[in-house]
């Protein structure tokens, strides 16, 4: 079986804490984003963008997450607060895929959102192709406008995913996949 097919058939997510250093080099980050931006895009609107979190910047971003968490839960325990501060520092690299979908005269917003999903999936696959593991997650802070503003998102922008990337600490176990007969049908000719 060609290598690419084997990769696509065996890809599996890892949890952020299962992704360990070393993370991708600067050149590899460029490769990841180049591949992630090579997705179908009706109307060539580029309805997505990427934010890279690496090194200490991951903890700076975590400070915004922690502040929002404290505001919501003033009685939070110190270990919960520490966990929130570390949210984007569990894996060596996090790339946020930001959807910039907006009303357009011709291109449905839905299709722009789908394009951002495609960008996130291409990013995940590119990470696997480079030998890294990845985890496409959102978690609560992806929906908190205060956190998003602190991360530099405009009001009209949304998080399609925080894609966590690093070396797999161990090979992941697979999970059951839906049987083809449950998810695919052949349209019957009359």
Enumerate binding residues for ligand FMN (CB under 6 A).
12-13, 136-139, 161, 175
Q: What is the nearest approach in angstroms of ligand FMN to the Cβ of residue 14?
A: 8
Q: How many angstroms separate the CA atoms of 97 and 162, rounded?
A: 6
Residue number, 14 or 64, with CB nearest to ligand FMN? 14
Residue number, 3 or 174, with CB nearest to ligand FMN? 174
What tokens does 14 get? 């890892």
What tokens does 32 get? 């990841």
Residue closest to ligand FMN, measured at CB: 13
Residue number, 13 or 37, with CB nearest to ligand FMN? 13
Q: How many angstroms separate the CA atoms of 100 and 80, rounded?
A: 32
**Beta partners for residue 159, in sequence order:** 98
Residue number, 25 or 169, with CB nearest to ligand FMN? 169
Q: What is the nearest approach in angstroms of ligand FMN to the Cβ of residue 139?
A: 4
Q: What is the nearest approach in angstroms of ligand FMN to the Cβ of residue 190?
A: 37
Q: What is the nearest approach in angstroms of ligand FMN to the Cβ of residue 126?
A: 15
DSSP notation for 70-136? HHH-TT--HHHHHHHHTGGGSSSEEEEEEE-----SSS-HHHHHHHHHHHHHHHHHHHHHTT-EEEE
């Amino acid at each position: 079986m060609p290598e690419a097919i084997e990769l696509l058939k065996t890809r599996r997510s890892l949890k952020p804490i299962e992704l360990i250093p070393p993370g991708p080099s600067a050149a590899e980050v460029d490769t990841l984003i180049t591949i992630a931006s090579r997705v179908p895009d009706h109307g060539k609107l580029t309805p997505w963008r990427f934010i890279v979190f690496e090194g200490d910047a991951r903890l700076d971003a975590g400070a915004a997450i922690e502040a929002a968490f404290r505001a919501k839960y003033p009685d939070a325990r110190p270990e919960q607060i520490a966990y929130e501060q570390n949210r984007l520092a569990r894996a060596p690299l996090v790339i946020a895929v930001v959807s910039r979908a907006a009303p357009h005269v011709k291109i449905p917003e839905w299709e722009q959102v789908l394009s951002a999903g495609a960008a996130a999936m291409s990013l995940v696959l590119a990470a696997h192709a480079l030998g890294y593991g990845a985890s496409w997650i959102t978690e609560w802070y992806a929906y908190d406008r205060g956190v998003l503003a602190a991360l530099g998102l405009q009001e009209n922008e949304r998080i399609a995913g925080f894609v966590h990337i690093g070396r797999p600490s161990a090979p992941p176990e697979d999970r059951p996949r839906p049987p083809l007969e449950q998810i695919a049908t052949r349209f019957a000719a009359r």
